[in-house]
A and B are shown apart, each in its own frame.
Chain A
Amino acid sequence: MRRVRDWVEERTGWVSSCRRILDEKVPGGARWRYVFGSVLMALFTLQFATGILLSLSYAPTAEDAWQSVRWTTESTHFGGLIRSLHVWGVSVILIVLLLHMAQVLLAGAYRRPREVNWFLGIGLLGLTLAFAFTGSLLPWDQRGYWATRVGMAIAGSLPVIGEPVQRLLQGGTALGTLTLNRFAVIHFVLLPGAFLAALMAHLALVWRHGITSPAGRTVEELGSRAQPFWPFQASKDLAVAGLLLVGLLAVAWCWPAELGDPADPSVSHAARPEWYFLFLFQLLKYFPGTWEVVGAAVVPALLLAILIGVPFLDSSPSLQFRHRRGVVGLMGALFLGLAFLTGQARWEDRVMRRVAMERATGIFTRHCASCHLDTGQGKHAGMPDFTRVEWHARHPEAALRRTILNGKRGKIPPMPAFKGILSDYEIEGLLRHIRGFGGKLDPEAPPEESTVTSPEGNQSTPEPLTTEEAPHDGRRGY
């Protein structure tokens, strides 16, 4: 073992380099608040591993993408868990990224001579968001499809460069196989390459400048309390990284990532971006018509400019926090603004949903009661009886949603399709109303669409919803 080490050391010097990095002194001693960088590295490593595994059985065509993702989650060992880890991982990474930035801001670690590392950090944040945006389209489900469609329309609405940019990103005039291929190449090849390069530069600069020392200490004090990275800082890094990873595993295990219905341009879908893009989504509501460009480009560009400008806004040589109040206050205000917009987007959706739910009774009376009756028991033989608990147990929400959207053919009066007539929220309200007839089932909790065999399963009712359909339900992660 030693001889191998010496052989490698003599030819490369890698052993002593590793030792130098591990023995690097942390001025003032190890601290919990220095852990975020290492934690991010651990999270990104997992993201790369799960991403590579997912890409092994993924086909970036409009025909195949959704099927291949479903196949991966259902027909490979731990496939659903791997996908859930990858999907949940994005949210965890963004939260830790915010904490990392906050720590850098509070410590003043963006100041001379570390400005370039602040810029690289912003670049890494941008690349992470680009990963999230391109990745959300890849399963080609309703959510990803519509979120991308809106995103592309926003890009297209920019003056002059809008249309060419949109076409280059889409690979044509509309979302389709070429878009998927582009997004896949960006997500699998270009972004990882750029990310790794930026990360290397980021780490090299951390190594060059070291950690920003805590304020208000003399050089002697910092020196006497300094501790080597290994094991003092490393143990803290490992503790937090391990806890977060295990927590992420638990979350992914308990709440499998949703794979929505396959992308369908004909079905209305209340397109909502992921939580980390909600502020942009909300911003657009404030700028009607030709002012859209302000919300879509000017404000985000301004935000980016402020972020990049932070090292120039605070050029005081002092490490003392009170000299940095202005910049920290500005960033705090910006953060609160973004948090407010995000919260507002959530709140407005909740209100819309409640209103639609309240309308559900009226909708049922107008559209459904002529056949299903106000009691929900059905006018004709062979119609479902909504008051039966067993019927609810056999019919998952997604299947009911499909029947409402697509209607139903049959001998008993056929049911019209409500695609394009009812909004998403109205259908959701209607589902709750229908569940409400069943009395005993908790209307808030849709039943598991397992193969519950009901005692009267052989009844000759022309069921449009066979159990074979059930696995198509988007809620099944794996």
Chain B
Amino acid sequence: MKRRTLLKICSLSWGAACAALLGVPVLGNFVSPLFRRPPREPEFTPVGRSFNFKVGGPPRLVFFTRLLRDAWTEREEPVSVWVQRLEKKEFRILSPVCPHLGCAIAQDRGGPSFACPCHNSSFTTKGAVAGGPAPRAMDPLEWRLEGNRLLVKYETFKSGLADLVRT
């Protein structure tokens, strides 16, 4: 083999080896968000007193905050849910996050049905898809009554899928 060819092969392999060695931490650090998990299991958060909701009344948007661990900070994030009281002890709580691409779902011209202002997905009062590009019904949220305190487990689901998958 010619000296020049040998030099080329050695240089390239040595350079590639060094680059690969340093590439491990550099790329490893870069992709660490892929391995980051949501910080904790969502908890039931109180959203109000049951007697504040009328049985059979129209859906109401209720605001509250949840404690969020966000990188090196911990902060209170304002969130909202659509609450309907069906029976004395029966509620329907729907997430206002559109299953299409995550916009905030509003009431359709005064309600009681819903519509997303972004891409015109529309939903019935029960949350089922009535039209537009939404791939699934509005996301139902788990709730619980403790005396007259209404608690909801606020969580988010992946958008764009026909099935409910937690983010």
How far does the alpha carbon of A81 sit from the alpha carbon of B22 in the complex, in Å?
Answer: 11
A81 close to B72 (CB less than 8 A): no
Interface status of A68 (Cβ within 8 A of chain B)? yes
Which of B7-15, B45-53, B130-138, B147-155 lies at the binding interface?
Answer: B7-15
Q: How far is the CB of A85 from chain B (nearest CB, A)?
A: 7
B29 close to A76 (CB less than 8 A): yes
How far does the alpha carbon of A249 sit from the alpha carbon of B22 in the complex, in Å?
Answer: 7
Interface status of A77 (Cβ within 8 A of chain B)? yes
Interface status of A242 (Cβ within 8 A of chain B)? yes
Provide a sorted-by-A list of 29 A–B residue pairs whose CB atoms are within 8 angstroms. Answer: A46-B22, A46-B26, A49-B26, A50-B26, A53-B26, A53-B29, A68-B72, A70-B72, A76-B32, A77-B31, A77-B32, A78-B24, A78-B26, A78-B28, A78-B29, A78-B32, A82-B26, A82-B29, A85-B25, A231-B4, A231-B8, A232-B4, A235-B11, A238-B14, A238-B18, A239-B11, A245-B21, A246-B18, A249-B21
Interface status of A79 (Cβ within 8 A of chain B)? yes
Residues of B within 8 Å of A67, CB to CB, are 72-73
Residues of B within 8 Å of A271, CB to CB, are none
Of all chain B residues, which has the CB nearest A50? B26
- Taking Cβ atoms with an 8 Å cutoff, the residues of B that contact A are 4, 7-8, 10-11, 14-15, 17-18, 21-22, 24-26, 28-32, 35, 71-73
B22 close to A77 (CB less than 8 A): no
Residues of B within 8 Å of A81, CB to CB, are 25, 29
Asked, given contacts A238-B11, A239-B14, whether A53 binds B22 with beta carbons under 8 Å apart, the answer is: no
Residues of B within 8 Å of A75, CB to CB, are 71-72
Within 8 A of B (CB), among A188-244: 230-232, 234-235, 238-239, 241-242
Interface status of A44 (Cβ within 8 A of chain B)? no
Of all chain A residues, which has the CB nearest B18? A242
Q: Which of A57, A71, A234 has a CB less than 8 Å from the CB of B11?
A: A234
Interface status of A64 (Cβ within 8 A of chain B)? yes
Max chain A Cβ within 10 angstroms of own Cβ: one of B25, B30, B73 = B25
- Taking Cβ atoms with an 8 Å cutoff, the residues of A that contact B are 46, 49-50, 53, 57, 59, 64, 67-68, 70-71, 75-79, 81-82, 85, 230-232, 234-235, 238-239, 241-242, 245-246, 249
Interface SS majority for chain B: helix
Asked, given contacts A235-B7, A242-B14, whether A71 binds B72 with beta carbons under 8 Å apart, the answer is: yes
How far does the alpha carbon of A49 sit from the alpha carbon of B18 in the complex, in Å?
Answer: 15
A242 close to B15 (CB less than 8 A): yes
How far does the alpha carbon of A68 sit from the alpha carbon of B17 in the complex, in Å?
Answer: 32
Q: Which of B10, B31, B71, B72 has a CB less than 8 Å from the CB of A235?
A: B10
Extra contacts, 7 of them, besides A49-B26, A245-B21, A245-B22 (Cβ < 8 A), are A53-B26, A59-B72, A75-B71, A77-B29, A79-B29, A82-B25, A232-B4
Q: How far is the CB of B8 from chain A (nearest CB, A)?
A: 4
Q: Which of B4, B15, B31, B71 has a CB less than 8 Å from the CB of A57?
A: B71
How far does the alpha carbon of A242 sit from the alpha carbon of B21 in the complex, in Å?
Answer: 10
Residues of B within 8 Å of A239, CB to CB, are 11, 14
Residues of A within 8 Å of B30, CB to CB, are 53
Q: How far is the CB of A55 from chain B (nearest CB, A)?
A: 12
Of all chain B residues, which has the CB nearest A235? B11
Q: How far is the CB of A244 from chain B (nearest CB, A)?
A: 9
Max chain A Cβ within 10 angstroms of own Cβ: one of B22, B30, B35 = B22
B25 close to A231 (CB less than 8 A): no
Q: Which of A49, A53, A68 has a CB less than 8 Å from the CB of B71?
A: A68
Of all chain B residues, which has the CB nearest A230? B8
B10 close to A77 (CB less than 8 A): no
How far does the alpha carbon of A49 sit from the alpha carbon of B8 in the complex, in Å?
Answer: 26
Q: How far is the CB of A269 from chain B (nearest CB, A)?
A: 23
